[in-house]
Structure 1
Amino acid sequence: MKRSRIYLIIFVIIFALFSFEQTSYGSDYKELDYKLYIIVVNRLTLPDIEKMPNIKGLIDEGNIGLMNTRGVNGYKGAESFATINASAKTYANNESSQLYNLKGKYKTIYENRVGTVDEEYAIGNIQLGKLYNQNEKNNYSPHIGAIGDSIHSKGLKTAAFGNSDTDEEAIRTGALIAMDSKGLIDLGNVDDVLLEDINYPYGIKTDYEKILLELSAIEEKASLLVIDTGDLDRLNSYSDYLSIDIFQQKRDLILNDIDNFVGNLLPILDKENSMVMIISPNAGEDRIADSRLSPIIMWGKEIKKGTITSSTTNREGIISNLDIGPTIAQFLQAPIDGMTGNPIESIKKEDSFKYIKTVNNRVNTTSKVRSKTLLIYGIIIVITMLLTLVLLIFNIDVGNKIGIVFNRFFLLLYTIPMIFIFSSLLSIDNLLKYFVSLFVFIIIFWFIFRKYNNSKCIYYISIGYFVIFLLDLITKGSFTRYSIISHDPIIGARYFGMGNEMAGIFIAIATLIAGLLLDVYENKYASIALLLLSIIMIGHPKLGANVGGTMAILSATIYFMLLIMGKKLNIKNLILFIFITGIAITILGYIDTVINPNPTHLGKTISLIEEKGIGVTQNIIGRKLLMNIKLIGASVWTKVIFIDIVIQVVLSYVYKNRILYIMEKGLGKGILSGIIGSLIGLLLNDSGIILSALSMNLITLFLLFIVIGHGETYINGSGKIEKNKVR
């Protein structure tokens, strides 16, 4: 009894201690009064920072990274500013971003258009209605002013200073970052902050001394303070009137002013309770090359020396503009609910500035060559398939030199995506290195295939693909990070896991290997296990995180299982397939929300459905359909899919007995399953065209290589070679 009382007393003491700690933490927070300063230096680039010693000093004590600046339509203008302060990508332009000091006529205009201002607010967006109208049909369904609402919900205040006005136009996009959903900001000045100076664009410049004085007067009241330096933006719009030399002179003058402002601001800050972010919400200056990802610099409380990342990108040194909002909210201990992005994390890294320049060069090089290289690859595929079609239709003897060259070329085309991966493992930071590396790898593989070009060669290449993708997912993209078949952080559609290009290749490879395993070992469970592993690889939130790709490989797996059980694809099995797919996606979404403190798109979509209802799925489906419709008409990959289907039909007619023989084997079941997966991937993915085309083409190349070049031999279930001389 005494022992029980002792345990009870200990429990009460521990509970009281924890309760006290939680209470005191809240009071400590109020006493510490954290401040977050966002200095907007729009159009800033990495070369600019070399000329700014105070900002370089911030990097030496803090961190630096790169930010994707994409809004809904592009990388410039008001969209990125509005997107930073929203739960998702947001439409905006200068007309819908008219923030003014709420005095006199502007207060009257605001109250007439939006509503009565119940409390004392310093700044308001008089075109807020237009901003909401622009986003009425926005498929991303953004919460406009999410940062301001989050901060206000904690009883904290926001402030904004500065503008990017010209002599003809009011440009107040910087203040978008601080406003709430009513377009209101508590404190600041966005009107009277400019000086006349003939040496600057439009004869005006930002009055940094006045901003510093006004900051000092209100900083005790505000928790989020946004300062728009403005001058680089003015220079950008004025640059058409300037020669390159005069442009650079004025740019250096402006950079020096901004750097001095930062140097004068830091001494008045309490580093232990403050954070400073220097951001460029738009992509860099048009006249400065390779500046499509903008620099972001962070300094202050709990900021480690090095670089940054986030759960949005899972890429060292790169974040999304959607990550700014959650980072602000987390630092000020305000709600993050509903925001698409994730808080920025620090990573220790020596000489982070040099590292970020390397990352920037490699990302820009890959981005430049990505679409053109894939286009050329697609065109070569189309030409090769057309020539092959001629070969098949006119019954040209494949036993001669022409047939041998064609067969070797099939094998090389099958290997090209792997060459793209191998090339990306090298430190390639310019176009010359890229094209030289591709040429060297292609020559190496061509000579290898001159010696080794039997059917086993393509099997080993297929296994090599699978192993590379598995290792790549386990090591968070270390193999494919800078490959043209991986993600482009400049586009920002995806930053980690399996993109549609990789998913398309993987679906073909996984189904082909499953078929080969069934032939070699006569064990259906090994094949099914491999396909189940493939589902996990594509679908798991910590691995591939590709929902459309998951449904495609799941479809292929179910169809493969139906084939080996001798079942047909009827209405009953189709309903079963839809049910299993729904259950699988739900399980993956649940895993995502449980194991991920910052869920991926799948987890957040499920949370959004719980919050706003099933109607949000219409926006998602609509967005994906629009993307596919757009690509169908313009993409070479549409032609690739069409000609692959034609080749497969003609091949089945010309080499009927060989095709029938293969289809009776495990490999045939893998091929048919891969085709099903490719078609499902086309329907269920935005940019599903390229997923389907790459998958379908690898299957077609595999078939051509086996049937035309090696139709005389085929590995049977016992591993021996048996003759199949019937055409």
Structure 2
Amino acid sequence: MRNGTIRRKAARLYAKGIVCIMAAVSCMWMSVTYGISPVYSLGTNSISQGQVIPTQQEKSEVIPNSENCPIVTVISIPGLSFMELQPEWLDRLPALRKLATTGRLAAMNVRVPYKGLESVYATWGAGTPADGKGGEGWNRAERRDGQSALALIRRFAADGAEAVASSVSVLVPAYPSLKRDNAEENYLARPGLLGETLKRHGVRLGVWGNLDEPGGGTDRFKRPAPLMIMDGQGTVAAGDVGRGTLIADPAMPSAVRTDTERLVEEWRVFVAGRKARPAEGTDHGALAVMELGDWYRLYAEKAWYEPSRFAERKRAVLEQTDRLLSRLTGEMEASGRRHVLWLVSPKVHAEAWIEKWQLTPVIRWSSAIAEGTLMSSATTRRPGLVAAVDVAPSLLGEFGLSRPEGMIGLPIVSAESRRDSRSPLAVLLSDMQQMANVYALRPTLLYGLAGYEVSVMLLGLIALRWAKPLGRLRRWMRGLLFSVLLAPGVLLALGWAAHMDKPLLAGLALTAPLALGMLAAAGSRKIPQLMRTLGWIGAGTGTLILLDGCTGAEAMKRSVLGYDPIVGARYYGIGNEFMGVLLGASLLGLSAWLQVRQMRPRLLKNCGAE
């Protein structure tokens, strides 16, 4: 009778424990999903509300008027990576160093569900993942193989006649197909939403530059930049994406280089409002996009270069880009107007990709801000990290506009990182190195861990047949099984040591669970001891996960079993893997504790009988 009562009480306690665990998990999940504020106490957000602050109000002595509306310039350099922001490069590039040290910095995840640079630009312009495959810009009067951009627009678009009649400079003939294809996708993206919103509010739009690769027997056209700021008809009012922005230079990639003199002159005229000026009283600023293709063309033909010659060309291209940045920032500072410069990159070059530096740099610079800081967004909630979908809401925010329905991205804002004596750039480069190390180790360690767990389980099943006559083998197997239970906790704890070298980090991840498992097995030779050890492992692992969550999830963000900012499936909170570990560890600890409670009266009875 007494044993039956104990079992019923244990069952009730067990059921209550399960209910409590599920209630806690449900609260955490709802907090993450619906943004309930108490979630900060559980660490599901990696930045507290006090750490992310709105973009500081820029100081300006210029009285706001119709001639002092925001002038935003976006410089896109496909292929640029954080490798070019290392000190050894910045020492030779004064303008880029100025932007990196006095501007606001972040690393951007440009991985989108669709392939190609066109999809990144389309995502920047839609504020949600968008498929830009097949989209490219044409100049209004341009002809290819007897076809003109105007004829294509008139043929494909329902409102093609209206687009042709307007005085636009750049067209995207594939816009009708882009609009239809994205409307059928899961994200319901609206290509051109950024440009259409800005146009509707009187902001002038212009785009210049291309990634064309002329010569070599073929004429390859690549002009994705207009997809970023085109309007709802696939047009941009001002700009030039044709070959007129290139000049011949046999020493440069594809025997051409960007005509920076012309770009600066075109930009100056556009900023002054002498081109694409809307009706009187509706000019509320301008957004200019420049795409510099020399860096992209250089890496496109890298296989043809000798290493020394390629290094020389890299310096030449970067120095040319730096001179352009120097001229633009100089004119912005001297103009007295409200200029903002954004430097972005839609992809990294092949060398950075191999080294796992796959996040691209993004810099926001203004002469009114003298001290550099890191940036963040509510999409990532991590200092120094933003997503591609955040670009459109951020550019809208420069003009005081809120994001329209259809954009899932959130504005990029200034973020206060943890107190550090290093510069924001040094902090960001250090974080990038840690992310790259973890990203490189993740496949090896996780596949190895899965194989190890399967092997241990199979050995355990085999050893059951000879466990009684071979007690030493049983103890060894117990140690191996303990190591499997301890592995998730060890991988989480190693997140605090992500700054270590990759070989040392991998060695600790492999040896620490085995060593701890053998120690646990040595102290668990009897059943009561075994149950207590299992209880401590479960409770300890669950407590470690919750403790890390309450302190900002710093270990989880850098653990190989946590979420990866390079993949971008999740940026904060408790990831799917560790949520499963938390549930399993909590149930293990609770079950072991109830088992010990059930065994205790029996042990006391036996002790009394003796």
User: Structures share a fold, TM > 0.5?
Assistant: yes
CA contact (8 A) 1:163 1:173 kept: yes
Instruction: Write the letter of the residue equivalent to 1:96.
Output: G
User: Given the alignment, which residue of 304, 312, 316 partners 1:249?
Assistant: 312
Q: Deviations over 1:98-130 (max 9, x none)?
A: 443456732232232221215322211012133
User: Given the alignment, which residue of 247, 250, 264 partners 1:198?
Assistant: 250
**1:565-644 alignment, distance < 5 Å:** none
2-side partners of 1:447 and 1:390: how far apart?
19
1-side partners of 2:547 and 2:106: how far apart?
26
**1:416-431 alignment, distance < 5 Å:** 416-428=487-499, 430-431=501-502
Relative to structure 1, is the Cα distance of residues 304 and 327 closer, same or farther in structure 2, using a 3 angstrom cutoff? Answer: farther
User: Given the alignment, which residue of 463, 488, 491 partners 2:567?
Assistant: 491
**1:475-554 alignment, distance < 5 Å:** 475-515=551-591, 519=594
CA contact (8 A) 2:498 2:505 kept: no
Deviation at 1:282, TM superposition (A): 1.2
2-side partners of 1:365 and 1:289: how far apart?
9
1-side partners of 2:195 and 2:500: how far apart?
40
CA contact (8 A) 2:373 2:416 kept: yes
Report the 3-state secondary structure (helix = DSSP H, G, I; strand = E; otherwise coil) of the residue aligned with 2:106: strand
Report the 3-state secondary structure (helix = DSSP H, G, I; strand = E; otherwise coil) of the residue aligned with 2:555: coil
Report the 3-state secondary structure (helix = DSSP H, G, I; strand = E; otherwise coil) of the residue aligned with 2:364: strand
Relative to structure 1, is the Cα distance of residues 376 and 721 closer, same or farther in structure 2, using a 3 angstrom cutoff? Answer: farther
Worse-superposed segment, 233-242 or 340-349: 340-349
1-side partners of 2:559 and 2:74: how far apart?
34
Unmatched 5+ stretches in structure 2: 1-62, 274-284, 525-529
Instruction: Write the letter of the residue equivalent to 2:382.
Output: R
2-side partners of 1:475 and 1:109: how far apart?
57
Q: Greater helix share, 1 or 2?
A: 1
Q: Does residue 1:140 correspond to 2:140, yes or no?
A: no
Deviation at 1:174, TM superposition (A): 2.0
Deviation at 1:505, TM superposition (A): 0.8
Q: Does residue 1:82 correspond to 2:122, yes or no?
A: yes
User: Given the alignment, which residue of 100, 104, 129 partners 1:63?
Assistant: 104
- Give the match for residue 183 of structure 1: 234
- Give the match for residue 356 of structure 2: 290
1-side partners of 2:372 and 2:575: how far apart?
31
Instruction: Write the letter of the residue equivalent to 1:224.
Output: L
> How many residue pairs were aligned?
501
Q: Does residue 1:97 correspond to 2:136, yes or no?
A: yes
1-side partners of 2:313 and 2:294: how far apart?
10
- Give the match for residue 124 of structure 1: 171
Q: Deviations over 1:535-592 (max 9, x none)?
A: xxxxxxxxxxxxxxxxxxxxxxxxxxxxxxxxxxxxxxxxxxxxxxxxxxxxxxxxxx
**1:100-111 alignment, distance < 5 Å:** 100-101=139-140, 105-111=148-154
- Give the match for residue 567 of structure 1: none
Report the 3-state secondary structure (helix = DSSP H, G, I; strand = E; otherwise coil) of the residue aligned with 2:325: helix
Instruction: Write the letter of the residue equivalent to 1:418.
Output: G
1-side partners of 2:456 and 2:507: how far apart?
23
Instruction: Write the letter of the residue equivalent to 1:359.
Output: D
- Give the match for residue 5 of structure 1: none
Report the 3-state secondary structure (helix = DSSP H, G, I; strand = E; otherwise coil) of the residue aligned with 2:557: coil
1-side partners of 2:76 and 2:469: how far apart?
65
User: Given the alignment, which residue of 223, 232, 239 partners 1:172?
Assistant: 223
Relative to structure 1, is the Cα distance of residues 468 and 719 closer, same or farther in structure 2, using a 3 angstrom cutoff? Answer: farther
Relative to structure 1, is the Cα distance of residues 404 and 514 closer, same or farther in structure 2, using a 3 angstrom cutoff? Answer: closer
Q: Deviations over 1:487-514 (max 9, x none)?
A: 1111111111122111111121233345
1-side partners of 2:439 and 2:605: how far apart?
48
**1:638-657 alignment, distance < 5 Å:** none
1-side partners of 2:383 and 2:587: how far apart?
33
2-side partners of 1:113 and 1:438: how far apart?
58
2-side partners of 1:295 and 1:166: how far apart?
24
Report the 3-state secondary structure (helix = DSSP H, G, I; strand = E; otherwise coil) of the residue aligned with 2:266: helix
Relative to structure 1, is the Cα distance of residues 506 and 172 closer, same or farther in structure 2, using a 3 angstrom cutoff? Answer: same
Deviation at 1:286, TM superposition (A): 3.5
CA contact (8 A) 1:285 1:291 kept: no
- Give the match for residue 54 of structure 1: 95
- Give the match for residue 218 of structure 1: 270
- Give the match for residue 22 of structure 2: none
Deviation at 1:201, TM superposition (A): 1.1
Deviation at 1:182, TM superposition (A): 2.0
Deviation at 1:188, TM superposition (A): 1.3
- Give the match for residue 473 of structure 1: 549
CA contact (8 A) 1:45 1:285 kept: no
**1:2-401 alignment, distance < 5 Å:** 28=64, 32-49=68-85, 50-51=89-90, 52-74=93-115, 76-93=116-133, 95-101=134-140, 105-114=148-157, 115-116=160-161, 117=163, 119-167=166-214, 168-191=219-242, 192-221=244-273, 223-270=286-333, 273-286=338-351, 289-300=355-366, 305-337=372-404, 338-348=406-416, 350-392=422-464, 394=465, 396-397=467-468, 400-401=471-472
CA contact (8 A) 1:361 1:430 kept: no
- Give the match for residue 664 of structure 1: none
Instruction: Write the letter of the residue equivalent to 1:468.
Output: L
**1:448-467 alignment, distance < 5 Å:** 448-453=519-524, 454-467=530-543
CA contact (8 A) 2:531 2:592 kept: no
Relative to structure 1, is the Cα distance of residues 455 and 514 closer, same or farther in structure 2, using a 3 angstrom cutoff? Answer: closer
Deviation at 1:435, TM superposition (A): 1.8
- Give the match for residue 433 of structure 1: 504
Instruction: Write the letter of the residue equivalent to 1:347.
Output: A
Relative to structure 1, is the Cα distance of residues 717 and 66 closer, same or farther in structure 2, using a 3 angstrom cutoff? Answer: same
Q: Deviations over 1:637-684 (max 9, x none)?
A: xxxxxxxxxxxxxxxxxxxxxxxxxxxxxx7xxxxxxxxxxxxxxxxx
Query: Structure 2-normalised TM-score?
Result: 0.77
Report the 3-state secondary structure (helix = DSSP H, G, I; strand = E; otherwise coil) of the residue aligned with 1:85: helix
**1:708-723 alignment, distance < 5 Å:** 714-716=596-598, 721=603
Relative to structure 1, is the Cα distance of residues 134 and 303 closer, same or farther in structure 2, using a 3 angstrom cutoff? Answer: farther
Query: Structure 1-normalised TM-score?
Result: 0.65
Deviation at 1:279, TM superposition (A): 0.7
Relative to structure 1, is the Cα distance of residues 282 and 336 closer, same or farther in structure 2, using a 3 angstrom cutoff? Answer: same
CA contact (8 A) 1:120 1:186 kept: yes
Deviation at 1:335, TM superposition (A): 3.1
Deviation at 1:240, TM superposition (A): 2.0
Q: Deviations over 1:595-625 (max 9, x none)?
A: xxxxxxxxxxxxxxxxxxxxxxxxxxxxxxx
Aligned CA RMSD, in angstroms, stands at: 2.6
- Give the match for residue 691 of structure 1: none
CA contact (8 A) 1:153 1:334 kept: no
2-side partners of 1:448 and 1:342: how far apart?
49
Identical-residue share of aligned pairs (%): 20
- Give the match for residue 516 of structure 2: 445
